[in-house]
Amino acid sequence: MAFRKKAATPPPEPPQPRTLFEKIWDAHVVDRQDDGTCVIYVDRHLVHEVTSPQAFEGLRMAGRKVHRPDATIAVADHNTPTTTGAMDDESRIQVETLESNVAEFGVPYFDMNDPRRGIVHVIGPEQGLTLPGMTIVCGDSHTSTHGAFGALAFGIGTSEVEHVLATQTLIQKPAKNMRVAVEGSLPIGVTAKDVILAIIGRLGTAGGTGYVVEYAGRAIREMTMEGRMTVCNMSIEAGARAGLIAPDETTFKYLYGRPYAPKGGAWDLALGQWRRLPSDKTAVFDSQLDLLASDIPPMVTWGTSPQDALPITDVIPDPANAPDENRREAWARSLAYMGLTPGTRLVDVPIDRVFIGSCTNGRIEDLRAAAEIARGRKVASTVSAMVVPGSGLVKAEAEREGLDKIFIEAGFEWRLQGCSMCLAMNADRLEDGQRCASTSNRNFEGRQGRGGRTHLVSPAMAVAAAIRGTLADVRDFQ
Amino acid sequence: MEKFTTLSGVAAPLPMVNVDTDMIIPKQFLKTIKRTGLKEGLFYEMRWTADGQKKDFILDQPAYQNAKILVAGPNFGCGSSREHAPWALLDFGIRCIISEDFADIFYNNCFKNGILPIKVSKEIIAKLMDDASRGSNAIIEIDLEKQEIKGPDGGTVHFEIDAFRKKCLIEGLDDIGLTLEKKSSIDDFENRQKDSQPWLHTAT
Ligand code: SF4
């Protein structure tokens, strides 16, 4: 019978299901040693004035060049003044050093007068320099921000900055995978900032150590890119190496037409690849945390670690109720530093200063949310409040929309772009004992100025606090 | 980078949890364009009052002024990526930090500067914390080759460390030099990427 059996070809091995992190990692391995240590290729390197001078100096001493200036972008943001006044000498020298380094090594640079200048983690996405599937590094721990685009982005030290400048690679071992899912839709008055504070509260400040965290679930998918950046930005406050969110239509829509985003045929090619990035349905995570959006209220931190986050309706905790000995000591130390007494209602804590800005919450949507609460209201007479846009373009857009006027009429100062009082390296800082409601990301001792006391909140919550003169629940203003 | 083989010295106890890099070296010392001279800023706010008086911080106490080892609480070095933190520790004379666990970036930064961060269990930390609190009489010895910590009473404990990082420390290897030996792999990677993802190779 002329019936021939087909040669038995075994069915192709089903591809191993992979996470978003694993897909990006695998696509960037240049070399792998037997012990798992890899040389990883870096697609984008962001450089700023504070953590780069010693790296350029190292290159110079070894007679090395910048391997790919075209994959690098430099900007001054940490030290720069937010008023038109002069910089202190040391800051000026640092900015001048950056300027001479970028000139010497041929690195593209947004100079001090460039309207695109701003916080490095705000301008990357804004310019389309941040794209899905990329590896992105910067000598700054909040590089995790860029993970919002489905890019593997993390902070590195200055020696590694030098390593990337010289080789466009890093030596690393892969991280573990964690998935944090926030299901359901966020209640009114609750923002991305509240979500990430709630997550850090659950994970703890070291809970993410060794992991790359992928945020998922409906609440994350429903967020704008600005909100997703806020979430990924603070991944490092849970100790995570990086944060990631799968790219989707929201991501692509945000990126389309940005100056450095691919154009024409390259866009279509890129889009095809980006759509394949999300974690496979059956991918395995080493750890998983699930939250319900409806359980997350507006949050505020009370202590000196970002994990010290509570619902605004809560009271200052008592160290006697701490879960363990370490926490008990840490809480007691925090309370002494913060000048707070257990049992005090958070909404009864008076504040002196308000800071709206930073790479966590200094983007246009943050300023819109803040302006919405500020409109037609007045900052309390006991409070001094400032708004610092994340970039020159954010500032220009806010001014085009008239947000600056709303803030100024309400009694806020409207400043030039930069990191400003997020780390208080320039003239913007808290005085000893001053208490601040801040939209930044760290409430460490002395972070915003020696002896300064920081309460981390969302932009809308910061405005509510400015108006009431105490920490406040934004839901009372809506 | 200076090699790390063995180390013998006084260990200072710092049991606080979550010591962040802002604490290790506050921002005003980040304006430097050098790697050296940072010991002035080390733990600045814990060492000096706002009006410039010395507090009695552990590293200023006579017994610990020459400490080479820090026995630290968990999650040491969290927060900012500033490499000024290990630079300041090194400038003071600290070559080894022992803790239950470290924040990732700080941990990495230590190796780039010839500092050995050692992770051990909570129980061992408790014992070492105890040893360290005995002051300058309590000398602790570290042998990286053998991966051993020898306490003042002669007892030794073993610690784990990544083989590649160990080799780099012992030989004082320059990472960049090592990576540049793989230049042809990097070139190949770039050529492949130019074909498959051309948009990653258009100029900034
Ligand atoms: S805004 Fe703050 S956290 Fe962000 S890059 Fe600047 S200093 Fe770092």
Give, for all 204 residues of chain B, the pLDDT tens digit: 889 999 999 999 999 999 999 999 999 999 999 999 999 999 999 999 999 999 999 999 999 999 999 999 999 999 999 999 999 999 999 999 999 999 999 999 999 999 999 999 999 999 999 999 999 888 999 999 999 999 998 899 999 999 999 999 999 998 999 999 999 999 999 999 999 999 999 866
Q: What is the mean pLDDT of residues A354-377?
A: 98
Minimal CA–CA distance to A304: which of A475, A446, A196?
A446
- Cβ-based neighbours of A195, under 8 Å, separated by 6 or more: A182, A186, A219, A220, A231, A291, A293, A296
- Given a contact cutoff of 8 angstroms between Cβ atoms, the answer to whether A129 and A145 are in contact is no
Residues of A in contact with B199 (CB under 8 A): 131, 262, 266-267, 269-270
Which residues 63-92 of B have a C-beta within 8 angstroms of A? 73-75, 78-83, 86
Length of chain B: 204
Per-residue pLDDT reduced to its tens digit, B65-93: 999 999 999 999 999 999 999 999 999 99
Mean pLDDT of the A391-397 span: 98
Encoded amino acid at B25, one letter: I
| In contact, A346 and A438? CB cutoff 8 Å | no
- Give yes or no for a contact between A231 and A242, defined as CB atoms under 8 angstroms apart: no
The residue whose C-alpha atom lies closest to atom 4 belonging to ligand 1 is A359
Rounded mean pLDDT, A195-207: 97
A158 and B83: CB-CB below 8 Å?
yes
Partnered with residue A398 across adjacent β-strands are none
Give which of B51, B99, B189, B190 to mutate to test A binding, by max A Cβ within 10 Å: B189
CB A304 within 8 A of CB A334: yes
In whole angstroms, give the CA distance from residue B11 to residue B129: 9
- Check whether A1 has a pLDDT greater than 50: no
Closest CA to A364 of A329, A405, A393, A406: A393
Helix (H) or strand (E) holding B184: helix B183-196
CA of A5 to the centre of ligand 1 (A): 67
Contact A116, A393 (CB under 8 A): yes
Structural element, H or E, at residue A272:
helix A264-274
Phi first, then psi: give them for residue B70, nearest 5 degrees.
-120, 125
Length of chain A: 478
According to DSSP, the residues that pair with A243 across neighbouring strands are: A213
Query: Measured between alpha carbons, how far is A34 from A371 in angstroms, rounded to an integer?
Result: 55
- Contact in structure between A455 and A374 (CB atoms under 8 Å): no
Number of other CB atoms surrounding residue A87 within 10 Å: 18
For residue A166, give both structure tokens: 């010289």
CB atoms closer than 10 angstroms to residue A464: 30
Q: In this structure, which amino acid lies at residue A322?
A: A
Please report, in angstroms and rounded to a whole number, the separation of the first and last CA atoms in chain B: 33
pLDDT > 70 in chain A, percent: 97
Evaluate if residue A330 carries a pLDDT over 50.
yes
Q: Which of B53, B84, B200 to mutate to test the interface with A (most CBs of A within 10 A)?
A: B200
pLDDT tens sequence across A67-105: 999 999 999 999 999 998 888 899 999 999 999 999 999
- Quote the tokens at residue A453: 């006391």
**DSSP at A345:** B
What's at A111, amino acid-wise? D
The neighbour count for residue B33, using CB atoms within 10 Å, is 18
CA of A426 from ligand 1 middle (Å) equals 12
DSSP symbol at A187: P
Please say whether the beta carbons of A217 and A181 come within 8 A: yes
pLDDT of residue A92: 93
Query: Cα separations (Å) of A331 from A316, A320, B45, B94?
Result: 10, 9, 19, 28
Quick: pLDDT tens for A15-52: 799 999 999 999 999 999 999 999 999 999 999 999 99
Residue pair A245/A215 in contact by the 8 Å Cβ criterion: yes
